[in-house]
Structure 1
């Protein structure tokens, strides 16, 4: 069983690389239930260059990508968990499929610390549905929340 001390770096699990690897660490993982990742929003991030000069706000589409990447972590951690239990399961790839009822509640600013949580809802074939959210640590506010669906190809 994976423990919090044994959680890998997101780059060990996801195919994304800079500048599209948006997650810094995996904070928690509960097998079969949820995963929480964290990231620091650097003031010099490329997304602030034009969104918006003088009043930088992290684009909402980047928050959505953080949610999808966190779902990808869950799928890959589940694969590792199952492999340790003796079941052979290697996750080959995954991709974003659907966004439902997504709301943006609070702007994300430079120097914010974010916690991105994906709670597994249900699965249909290779499609996994998650309730996801991005919380701004320190402000006690939710930046975005919604239901996202990912395809995970075993």
Structure 2
């Protein structure tokens, strides 16, 4: 009797992306580009990123001038942009695999596939983020719900948690 065995699933390769790579992946530009680097990105699954917080950020001029605090909404935006990098990395990987097999190229600008932030749930802020801090961002994509995707996100400074919660993002742009 012969038992057919399945080949073990190859773990997905982790990728790193510089700020220049991220500019090619996302439609965001200064002053709204909120991540400096992404690493340990498993396309379509998870990733980590870095946001170096500088006193020169434009929001510090008004939030608060005498006690600079990074607005929570900007922390959430940084986490959402990491989610977009993880999502676009999957699209790029799929296109590269199709091209390698001779399939017609999907083509186009990968940043055009970045969707929108649809919902923020259970977001808790537990530490102030100030100039000089380096935010470490984590994103783990969850289940798909039609054209939506659930995501678990975290931001920390060193070993201290700064924010954590759930997002729902669209998996494409609709006018």
TM-score normalised per structure 2 = 0.79
Relative to total residues, which structure has the larger strand share, 1 or 2? 1
Quick check: 1:30 aligned with 2:76? no
| Aligned structure 1 segments of 4 or more residues deviating by more than 3 angstroms | 1-5, 87-91
Q: Where in structure 2 are there 5+ consecutive unaligned residues?
A: 1-11
Q: Tell me what 1:60 maps to.
A: 72
Q: Deviations over 1:55-82 (max 9, x none)?
A: 1110001011111111111110110121
Note if 1:136 corresponds to 2:147: no
Q: How far apart, in 2, do the equivalents of 1:31 and 1:19 lie?
A: 26
- Structure 1 segments unaligned to the other structure (5+ residues): none
SS of the residue 2:115 aligns to: strand
Number of residues of Structure 1 aligned to a counterpart in Structure 2: 151
- Answering whether residue 58 of structure 2 is matched by residue 46 of structure 1, we say yes
String of CA shifts for 1:96-149, please: whole Å, max 9, x gaps. Answer: 101110000100010111111110111111211110011113xx1111000001
Match of 2:125 in 1: 104
TM-score under structure 1 normalisation?
Answer: 0.89
Residue 71 (str. 1) matches residue 103 (str. 2): no
Q: Secondary structure at the residue paired with 2:122? A: strand
Bigger-Rg structure (1/2):
2
**Alignment RMSD:** 2.0
